[in-house]
Amino acid sequence: MHLSCLLGYNIKTFIKLGYRDDRRIGKSVDLLLKPCRFDGGYLCDMHEKRAGRKQPKSCIRGLVKTLEAFAELGPEYWDHPSCAKLVAYFLDRNGIYKRSDRSQPVNKDVRILSFPFLWNSGLLQILLSLGWMGHGKDERLQSARDLLESKKGDDGKYPLDWTPTQCPWNIGKRGTQNKWVTFYAYLAKKHRG
C-alpha cells in the first residue's frame, strides 16, 4: 500500500539518519518518482480507491511530506517530472492557498508555525522545502512569506502555534516565542536568498 505522507516522511527521515544509499530507500524513492496524479500531487492508495466517489484531490499533508523528501534528496532529483509537477502544484497555489481561491488557505495547518514537523503541513515546511530547492525568491510565494513575517514578534522571534499535546520532547508552550520555530523561520528566510 502507498501512503504518500508516510512515504515522504520516511524517505526524508532515513536520509537524515544516513541511509540514503540503502536499497530499500532506493525502492521507496522509485515509488515516489512514479507519475503524479491528475492534479500534480499525491494521495494515499486507501483514499484513491474508494469506490463510488469522484476522483479525490491530492492530500496536502502527503504533498508536503513528499516535497520535504524531494528537498532532502537533492538537486539530482529536482528536474525529475514528478518533482517538477509537485513544485508547480505549490507555486500555482502561491504556496499555501486553494487553486480556486488564492485568498483561502488549503487547510488550517498551512497557516500555522508548528514543531516538531510531523504529519501536519505547516507553513515552515513548505517555505523551507521550496527554498532549499531554489524557489525561495519566486514571487508567487510572497503572500506565504508575508504571512510568516506577520507572525514575527518585536524581538525578532517567532511563536509556536502548535505542538502535539503528547510530544515526547519539551518543545515549548503554544502561543509563546519559540527557539525552534525561530530557527526554522530564519533558515527558510536564508534559503530564500
DSSP per-residue string spanning 64-114: HHHHHHHHHH-HHHHTSHHHHHHHHHHHTTTTTB-SS-TTSBSSSGGGS-B
As a whole number of Å, the end-to-end CA separation of the chain is 39
Q: Residue 43: pLDDT above 90? A: no
Q: What is the pTM assigned to this prediction?
A: 0.89
For residues 158-180, average pLDDT:
91
Residue type, 23: R
What integer is the mean pLDDT of 152-172? 91
- Asked if 64 and 106 touch (Cβ cutoff 8 Å), the reply is no
pLDDT in tens, 95-154: 999 988 988 999 998 999 999 888 788 899 999 999 999 999 999 999 999 999 999 999
% the chain with pLDDT above 90: 63
Cell of 129: 522545502
Across 33-47, 78-92, 93-107, least confident range: 33-47
Whole-number average pLDDT of the chain:
89
Containing H/E element for 49?
A: none
Residue 132: per-residue pLDDT:
95
- pLDDT 10s digits, 60-80: 888 899 999 999 999 999 999
